[in-house]
Structure 1
């Protein structure tokens, strides 16, 4: 089981929107040096929605090769078409990913039975560890705990990224989950609380800019050291809000640019961070000790 701080990695881009492979090297190396437990490549934060299929696969392969087995790489391979999700998941397995993260099918609003059949088909078709991903605020599709528990009975469905931020729901999942099924937070603001309830980690946006701190928070929470975890979390709690002042990954890519890791490149329909929001985020990075005054 993968535990701790799992970064939902950005996909760096040039000003014209082309993938910036040199900057991708830099951000991967940053996480290898700073204690991140695993890298999620081409999830929501990695702009999976705007990469074409070839680019999607190339980024996964590039990250797998750069990491070279030092930490696990989880490939974002979800889609709103079951067939497309199967193709991406099979490709990720072929390229050496350790597991796949599969967002609930978005836009078409499947029923709970449809979700079950979608994920069961994926698990039966591609033999790789698979992590469910529930983020109804972006997908307009909420996978309910009863459906999660049905899917948890399938051997290679090994966990869920629960991104509602609802700790009552998280506690229900933790209490009902079978042994070996991981509950990860997908909401930085409540991640520490979820881990202290018995969850296994955080698939994090904030970890893009503060990987060492997020790794230490997760480690303390996993050890049950709640007071120490809370104190450390206070040093970056403002970032959990400031990195979502516009749609992710707009703010986090701008923040990484301020830190010198990539340009401000991002793909339409996303645009660089709005001018009035830049100075408050810059001040937030200063407060967290991530850039100088």
Structure 2
């Protein structure tokens, strides 16, 4: 359904943490103009953990309005409460999202059967395409390939964002599930290799800063053109690393502020990028051909 570069969109804010509506409008236009293939609104990079439900729904709805059907919008609707995830997913369906991205339940550390039942219930309750999201480094919970294989049989579970950075994990999911599920990378540093192995796109933090370059790299890799993908990925390599020198989205928020899309503001308990790390991020932007 979705292929290529799928940006994990930041939520532009003022320095006080208020939503910056003008910057959000400009940001969506920036991605439409620069080849991004789909937008994830209210994922981890969008600071979903610190927005109220009212704000969360507002941002998703506003991104859908701004996209105007020109680019698909995937709403982040995961929660560690199954009922809350259902509520957020129903809201996204009502507001016109093309699909939903559901992170594994964080903190409560459910067993594999709990994960299966969690996702199964959401899929049965809400008739919208759903993308599983596995990022154990953040959640303390790992959605294992046998469980993904079971979930892939549910018709409206269409894909997984595999953010472990473990290429063998991605390969195993593809081998187990075949055409029953699409695999997307959720790790910019290893995305090229996973797409060359058969993944169909990258749900990307780096795409915020370098949308055209990331889109071109993704399609080269998806099409099996290793030489072109490697050449483009070499330009992105430093960005893929430095945008994680502090917890996401701290560095990417600062980088986007340098491009004029909101301030560096993030919500507590996150704080703006350390002064000492800013030259490193700026150098990576310059290497990628991004002019500030």
Cα distance in 2 between the residues matched to 1:222 and 1:264: 33
Q: Which residue of 2 aligns with 1:138?
A: 138
Deviation at 1:236, TM superposition (A): 1.1
Q: TM-score, normalised by structure 2?
A: 0.99
Q: Secondary structure at the match of 1:247?
A: coil
**1:14 aligns to 2:14 (yes or no):** yes
User: Which residue of structure 2 aligns with residue 43 of structure 1?
Assistant: 43
Q: Give me the whole-angstrom Cα distance separating, in 1, the residues matched to 2:250 and 2:39.
A: 19
Structure-1 separation of matches of 2:11 and 2:203 = 16
User: How far apart are residue 140 of structure 1 and its match?
Assistant: 0.2
Q: How does 1:117-196 map to 2 (within 5 A)?
A: 117-196=117-196
Report the more deviating stretch, 274-283 or 207-216.
Answer: 274-283
Deviations 1:39-61 (A, max 9, x none): 00000000000000000000000
Q: CA deviation at 1:180?
A: 4.8
Partner-residue secondary structure (3-state), 1:91: helix
- How far apart in 1 are the matches of 2:180 and 2:121? 21
Paired residue for 1:197? 197
Q: How does 1:1-293 map to 2 (within 5 A)?
A: 1-292=1-292
Unpaired segments ≥5 residues, structure 2: none
> Aligned equivalents of 1:127 and 1:14: distance in 2?
36
CA deviations 1:90-117 (Å, max 9, x no partner) are 0000000000000000000000000000
In the aligned structure 2, how far is the partner of 1:285 from the partner of 1:3? 25
CA distance in 2, matches of 1:111, 1:272: 35
In structure 1, distance between residues paired with 2:238 and 2:3: 24
Q: Quick one: distance in 2 between partners of 1:140 and 1:180?
A: 26
Contact (CA 8 Å) 2:152, 2:180: kept in 1 or not? no
* Alpha-carbon distance in 2 for matches of 1:29, 1:174: 34
For the aligned residues, what is the CA RMSD?
0.7
Contact kept? 2:153, 2:180, Cα under 8 Å: no
Over residues 134-192 of structure 1, what are the superposed CA-to-partner deviations in whole Å (9 max), with x where a residue is unaligned?
00000000000000000000000000000000001111111122325210000000001
* Moved beyond 2 Å, runs of 4+: none
Residues 152, 178 of structure 1: 8 Å contact kept: no
Partner SS, residue 268 of structure 2? coil
Quote the Cα distance in structure 2 between the aligned partners of 1:105 and 1:209.
29
Task: Supply the distance in 2 between the matched residues of 1:239 and 1:152 (Cα, whole angstroms).
Answer: 33
Which segments of 5 or more consecutive residues in structure 1 lack a partner in the other structure?
none
Q: Is the 8 A contact 2:250 2:266 kept in 1?
A: yes
User: Contact 1:10–1:47 (CA<8 Å) still a contact in 2?
Assistant: yes
CA distance in 2: counterparts of 1:161 and 1:233, whole angstroms? 20
Give the C-alpha shift of residue 263 in structure 1. Answer: 0.9
TM-score after normalising by structure 1 = 0.98
